[in-house]
Amino acid sequence: MSWYRNTVWFVKGLREYTRSGYESASKHFNPADVEVNVAGRSFLVTGANSGIGKATATEIARRGGTVHLVCRNKERAEVAKGEIVTETGNQNIFLHIVDISNPREIWKFAEKFKNEHKLNVLINNAGCMVNNRELTGDGLEKNFATNTLGTYILTTALLPLLEKEADARVITVSSGGMLVQKLNVSDLQSGNGTFDGTMVYAQNKRQQVVLTEQWAKAHRNIHFSVMHPGWADTPAVRSAMPDFYQKMKNSLRTEAQGADTVVWLAISSEATKLPSGLFFQDRQPVPTHLPLASTHSPPEDEEKLMEVLEEFSQKFKSTSPG
């Protein structure tokens, strides 16, 4: 069945996830959806120094939003901030240096941020695909620490801030790769069997879909969404998937095309007319499971994921300095 899932996903990807898929879908977009002024609204974008994160931050800045860039590398982040300010003329761009794979650092940042800023929209874009099993300084598998636990802690830590605002939103950048994975709560840190970075990443992205669905049920006055940007030409794809990049580079989407649905979900009034908790591709909600793929998980597994992540979260909160 995994062979079936992978094959169907790849064929679907060739048709829908490439640049031509975007060009086809975009014929049906309403340009007015994103021709909005968001001055006075505050946006936080993780992984914002390059790729889809930077493209998203730039488009929001262009429309007058206050943008908080959360990045790991100070030098690259400062260059990105300068480029965004220069390109958009928007001075309300703020930089925060945080490693999303470090749960204590996230808690420390979130507590400080809550005291100093307001927040209307959180965009969870930071992610990684590490192809060998690496542990962080906290003994966490690095993909899980960044993609799943980091996303969980940052979001839950900032929920009280979002709850205070009208039209609050949380958007998480996932991947269509999650379609080949069924939620596996028995091995969240990929310690069993052969380690396959691509499949671990896909599992993390499935976890992000489940998180979004669970948050949407629990927090009714915040609009949650998760999305697939398509296959885009980003630094992350070039470094983490060099073989895939070489085969597909002439068909990949631009960073701006990959970011389009993130921006639409973050600023358009049309996005929040749709139910909270959905998975989007090219401005449309799409199924989270392939036909006949057997990737549905029982409710108790989804509840277990939330329980385990909350346990991790509280453990690192209690040991967080400050």
Give me the half-sphere count of Cα atoms (radius 13 Å) on the Cβ side of residue 175. Answer: 26
Q: How many CB atoms within 10 Å of residue 31?
A: 7
Give the span between the Cα atoms of 265 and 169, in whole angstroms.
8
Which residues does the annotation mark as catalytic? 201
80-89-222 Cα angle (round to 5): 75
- Name the residue with tokens 């205070």: 164
Give the span between the Cα atoms of 233 and 258, in whole angstroms.
9
Give me the half-sphere count of Cα atoms (radius 13 Å) on the Cβ side of residue 286. Answer: 23
**Using an 8 Å Cβ cutoff, are 51 and 257 in contact?**
no
Residue 222 phi/psi, 5-degree rounding, is: -120, 140
SS3 at position 112: helix
**Using an 8 Å Cβ cutoff, are 178 and 212 in contact?**
no
Ramachandran assignment for 270, one of left (phi > 0), alpha (psi -120 to 50 degrees), beta (any other): alpha
Q: What token pair was written down for 226? A: 């998760």
**Using an 8 Å Cβ cutoff, are 243 and 213 in contact?**
no
